[in-house]
Every structure is written in structure tokens, then in C-alpha cells.
């Protein structure tokens, strides 16, 4: 890792720690996070003091013009749905990702479309309950944002509501990151199996078809092996979009 890449990584981790410091009310955690934050900033300063680094190279991608080119699924989803949930771009994007996963990928992960051995069947089945919990969290977040945007609350609790929304969004992002990292590993493992002994995925060469009741889906006509690759790419894109450093998952 060159100095520019290392400083970029440090900047992302520092930002996450600053987020925790702002949102937590636990004095013990605040003290611990503040110590770690100071160490990270000191380390970053040392790198910058001994290396000549172009500041523009350290700037993270902004949510603007060319940003969607880095997230092709999101770009297609915005063109497809053309809707806003709340006046929060990140929450809108998360909503689109989750809506698409629910309507076009979860049906593929059913036992009728994806035939697996016992172990992977159990893991696949766990995705449904976990995703429903994530949808519930998203709904709670959207309701809280709508309540804030309506202005129908006491003025003296405005800051408290902002912090609550901030924390809800952060926690949802962390849980989504965990979920889609597991989905990504699941799809990657099955792809390796399909290209090998095919002992875990039992129908890798079958073509996916949805009946009239199920309706038209994104993966219609895909081979199972190719559909798994789409699941892998989709989950990886969400992970990259959320950009949660590994260190945050230890909180």
C-alpha cells in the first residue's frame, strides 16, 4: 500500500470513529473512541510529514455527476424507479438497493430456483429473516426522517431527533454491510463449487424461469451459475457503496 492509499484508508477510518464519537452517549465508549481517534490522527500526521502527497489525490468520491458510474446497479435502479423516499440521498439509495434485492434476488435464492446441499440451504434460509429485520429498520428510519421533515415535534427536541436519525442510519448501514458481506461470501463459495465438483450447488447449469404469478424478474433466463455471479457483483457493489471499514464491525 503506497502512502496515498494508506492516508485514504486512515481518513475513512477516522471519519467512522468521529461518527461514533458524535452518536454515542456511553462515556466509556466515548473515552475509548477518543483515544483511538487521537492515535489514528497522529499516525496520519506522521505519514504526511515524511511524504509528499497531492491533496487532490486524497479526496474521496463525491455523490455527484460521475459517482453513479462507479455503481452501475444503482445507476440502473435510479433510471428504473425514479423515486425519492425522503429528502436524504443516502437513504434513498439504500432503499433502492434493498427494494431491488427483495424483488429480484430473494426469489432466486428460494429452494425451487437454487438447489443446495443441507448446510448451504440453512444459510440461504437465514437470509430471509435477516433481510426482513433490515427492512423493518429501514421503515423505522424513514418514518423518523418523515416525522422530522414534517416539523411536527417540539423545538427543544430537534437536536435529539437529529442524533437519533444519525445513529439509526449508521446502525442500519453497519448491519447491511454485515448482511451483504455474508451474501457475497455465500455466492462466491457457490461459484467456486459450480466451477469445481458441484457438491454444494446442485443445479448450476439450469436456466432460471419465473412463472406468470411470480412476474418478470431481473434474473429471468440466466443460468444459475451466472445468476450467482450477479448476486456476487450486486452484494459487492453495496459493500463498496456503504464503505464501512472492517474496524467498525468490532464496535
Domain ranges of the chain: 3-58, 65-250
Residues 235, 240, 243: CA angle, nearest 5 degrees: 125
Tracing cell 502512502 back to the chain, one arrives at 3
pLDDT of residue 55: 59
Using the Cα atoms of residue 73, residue 79, residue 84 and residue 87 in order, give the sign of their dihedral.
Answer: positive
Give pTM, 2 decimals.
Answer: 0.74
Asked if residues 142 and 91 have their Cβ atoms less than 8 Å apart, the reply is yes
pLDDT of residue 57: 57
Burial tier of 114 (Cβ tally within 10 Å: 0-12, 13-18, 19+): buried
Interatomic CA distance for residues 40 and 18, integer angstroms: 11
- Cα–Cα distances (Å) from 68 to 62, 224, 241, in that order, read 10, 28, 10
Comparison of pLDDT for 22 and 5, the residue scoring more = 5
197 Cβ neighbours under 8 A, 6+ residues apart: none
Chain segment 13-66, per-residue pLDDT in tens: 887 777 667 656 677 777 888 888 888 888 888 888 887 776 555 555 444 334
Helix (H, G, I), strand (E, B) or coil at 51: coil
Comparison of pLDDT for 16 and 95, the residue scoring more = 95
Asked if residues 56 and 33 have their Cβ atoms less than 8 Å apart, the reply is no
Using the Cα atoms of residue 5, residue 8, residue 14 and residue 15 in order, give the sign of their dihedral.
Answer: negative
Interatomic CA distance for residues 1 and 9, integer angstroms: 10
Comparison of pLDDT for 151 and 99, the residue scoring more = 99
| Section 109-138 average pLDDT | 95
pLDDT of residue 251: 43
Please name every residue paired with 116 in a beta bridge, in sequence order, or none if there are none.
Answer: 201
Torsion of CA 197, 202, 206, 211, to 10 degrees: -160
Chain Cα centroid distance, residue 213: 30
Please name every residue paired with 201 in a beta bridge, in sequence order, or none if there are none.
Answer: 116
* pLDDT surpassing 60 at residue 72: yes
pLDDT of residue 250: 42
Interatomic CA distance for residues 16 and 244, integer angstroms: 8
> How many other C-beta atoms are found inside a 10 Å radius of the C-beta of residue 153?
12
Q: Which three cell numbers stand for residue 239?
A: 459493500
Tracing cell 481518513 back to the chain, one arrives at 11
Interatomic CA distance for residues 250 and 35, integer angstroms: 16
Q: Which three cell numbers stand for residue 208?
A: 432460471
Amino acid at each position: 500500500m503506497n502512502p496515498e492509499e494508506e492516508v485514504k484508508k486512515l481518513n475513512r477510518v477516522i471519519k467512522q470513529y468521529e461518527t461514533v464519537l458524535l452518536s454515542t452517549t456511553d462515556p466509556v465508549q466515548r473515552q475509548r473512541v477518543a483515544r483511538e481517534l487521537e492515535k489514528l490522527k497522529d499516525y496520519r500526521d506522521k505519514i504526511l510529514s515524511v511524504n509528499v502527497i497531492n491533496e487532490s489525490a486524497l479526496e474521496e468520491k463525491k455523490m455527484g455527476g460521475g459517482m453513479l458510474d462507479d455503481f452501475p446497479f444503482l445507476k440502473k435502479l435510479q433510471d428504473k424507479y425514479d423515486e425519492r423516499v425522503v429528502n436524504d440521498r443516502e437513504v434513498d439509495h439504500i432503499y433502492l438497493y434493498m427494494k431491488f434485492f427483495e424483488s429480484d434476488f430473494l426469489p432466486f435464492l428460494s429452494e425451487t430456483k437454487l438447489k443446495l446441499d443441507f448446510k448451504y440451504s440453512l444459510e440461504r434460509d437465514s437470509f430471509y429473516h435477516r433481510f426482513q429485520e433490515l427492512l423493518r429498520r429501514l421503515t423505522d428510519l424513514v418514518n423518523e426522517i418523515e416525522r422530522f421533515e414534517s416539523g411536527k415535534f417540539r423545538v427543544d427536541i430537534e437536536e435529539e431527533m437529529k442524533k437519533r436519525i444519525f445513529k439509526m442510519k449508521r446502525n442500519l448501514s453497519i448491519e447491511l454491510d454485515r448482511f451483504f458481506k455474508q451474501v457475497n461470501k455465500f455466492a462466491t463459495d457457490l461459484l467456486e463449487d459450480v466451477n469445481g465438483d458441484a457438491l454444494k450447488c446442485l443445479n448450476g447449469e439450469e436456466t432460471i424461469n419465473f412463472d406468470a404469478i411470480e412476474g418478470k424478474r431481473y434474473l429471468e433466463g440466466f443460468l444459475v451459475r451466472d445468476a450467482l455471479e450477479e448476486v456476487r457483483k450486486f452484494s459487492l457493489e453495496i459493500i463498496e457503496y456503504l464503505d464501512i471499514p472492517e474496524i467498525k464491525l468490532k464496535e
